[in-house]
């Protein structure tokens, strides 16, 4: 039996098609969930600036989690009372899990001498360089570069020096996260911790003992949220194997890619009450 369902979803490769970024195959399901008041909560490596645009295009209005669990944005008055440990900014209550970007940038600056020419990072790359590295349009690249909490590094040198670099930054208190193309430098935050915190706020708000969290993701950076949720959905990717999970129960794996797989699994779990193992 599912109570007070919350849907936490990765974007790239999950709700958005890996190649085209289209969410069209998920639209009927998004409408269906909206009609029965099940919130769809983006939980993504993308930035606040990117999410403001995307949420409008997708047509979702509630809370969202940015930069791999670095912060949660909750529209002011979405809940009856402001959750503890949040600040108010630009119309949102903001819960932060890590230090601001400037902290990570100053650490990078200190290491530049030691690793001269070995890497580039977002704040010293031109928009054209970011476009080339990501495949984003000029506007999308600008929004992606408007980061608040972490810094993506593009490694240019050898793998062995990169390993040394990774060890150095871990010693400095950085939690590195390897994405498809970039090494993300940030604090000890992840999509799972953010999911747990926000689920708690929903339970308080609704005065219920249990909310059923469903998490959907296609990549390695989704593992923490897939492990933390009541039900984990691994969305099949055309480019990488499904993320490897420790948990053995409550796991679905889609048959279709991206937004089609997203719809397929939520239909089964929420509307057909299909058993899972
Ligand atoms: Mg993804």
Write out pLDDT tens, residues 4-52: 999 999 999 999 998 888 999 999 999 999 999 999 999 999 999 999 9
Q: Give kind and range of the element (H or E) at residue 78.
A: none
Listed residues: CB within 5 A of ion ligand 1: 10, 12-13, 218-219
**If phi over 0 gives left and psi between -120 and 50 gives alpha, with beta otherwise, what is residue 90?**
left
Question: At 169, is the secondary structure helix, strand, or coil?
Answer: helix
Q: 62: closest CA among 28, 27, 37, 99? A: 37
- The pLDDT, as a whole number, for residue 266 is 98
Whether the Cβ atoms of residue 230 and residue 9 lie closer than 8 Å to each other: no
Q: ∠39-42-45 over CA atoms, to 5°?
A: 170
Catalytic residue among 4, 10, 109, 190: 10
- Domains in the chain, please, with CATH? 5-97+194-271 (3.40.50.1000), 101-186 (3.30.980.20)
Q: ∠96-184-99 over CA atoms, to 5°?
A: 25
CA of 113 to the centre of ligand 1 (A): 33
Q: 104: closest CA among 48, 164, 28, 169? A: 169
Q: What is the pLDDT of residues 122-140, one digit of tens each?
A: 999 999 999 999 888 999 9
- The pLDDT, as a whole number, for residue 1 is 67
Whether the Cβ atoms of residue 73 and residue 47 lie closer than 8 Å to each other: no
CA of 12 to the centre of ligand 1 (A): 4
Percent of the chain past pLDDT 90, that is, above it, reads: 91
CA of 17 to the centre of ligand 1 (A): 9
Percent of the chain past pLDDT 70, that is, above it, reads: 97
Whether the Cβ atoms of residue 189 and residue 68 lie closer than 8 Å to each other: yes
Q: What is the pLDDT of residues 211-245, one digit of tens each?
A: 999 999 999 889 999 999 999 999 999 998 999 99
Which ranges of the chain would DSSP assign to H, the alpha helix? 27-35, 48-58, 101-111, 127-134, 138-145, 159-171, 191-206, 223-228, 258-266
Whether 230 sits among the annotated catalytic residues: the reply is no
Whether 189 has a pLDDT exceeding 60, the answer reads yes
Half-sphere exposure of 54 (CA within 13 A, CB side): 26
């Amino acid at each position: 039996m599912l109570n007070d369902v919350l849907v936490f979803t990765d974007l790239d490769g999950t709700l958005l098609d890996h190649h085209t970024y289209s969410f069209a195959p998920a639209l009927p399901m998004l409408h269906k969930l909206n009609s029965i008041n099940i919130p769809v909560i983006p939980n993504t490596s993308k930035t606040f600036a990117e999410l403001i645009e995307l949420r409008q295009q997708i047509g979702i209005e509630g809370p969202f989690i940015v930069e791999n669990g670095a912060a949660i944005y909750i529209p002011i008055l979405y809940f009856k009372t402001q959750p503890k440990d949040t600040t108010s900014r630009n119309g949102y209550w903001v819960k932060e899990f890590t230090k601001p970007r400037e902290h990570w940038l100053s650490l990078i600056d200190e290491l530049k001498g030691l690793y001269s020419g070995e890497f580039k990072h977002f704040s010293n790359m031109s928009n054209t360089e970011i476009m080339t590295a990501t495949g984003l349009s000029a506007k999308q690249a600008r929004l992606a570069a408007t980061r608040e909490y972490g810094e993506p590094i593009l490694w240019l040198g050898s793998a062995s020096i990169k390993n040394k670099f990774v060890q150095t930054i871990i010693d400095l208190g950085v939690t590195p996260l390897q994405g498809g193309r970039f090494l993300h430098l940030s604090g000890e935050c992840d999509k799972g911790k953010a999911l747990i915190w926000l689920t708690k706020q929903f339970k308080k708000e609704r005065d219920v003992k249990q909310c059923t969290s469903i998490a959907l993701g296609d990549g390695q950076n989704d593992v923490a949220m897939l492990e933390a949720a009541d039900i984990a959905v691994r969305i099949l990717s055309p480019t990488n194997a499904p993320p490897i999970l420790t948990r053995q129960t409550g796991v679905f794996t889609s048959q279709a890619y991206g937004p089609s797989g997203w719809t397929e699994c939520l239909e089964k779990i929420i509307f057909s009450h299909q058993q899972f193992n």
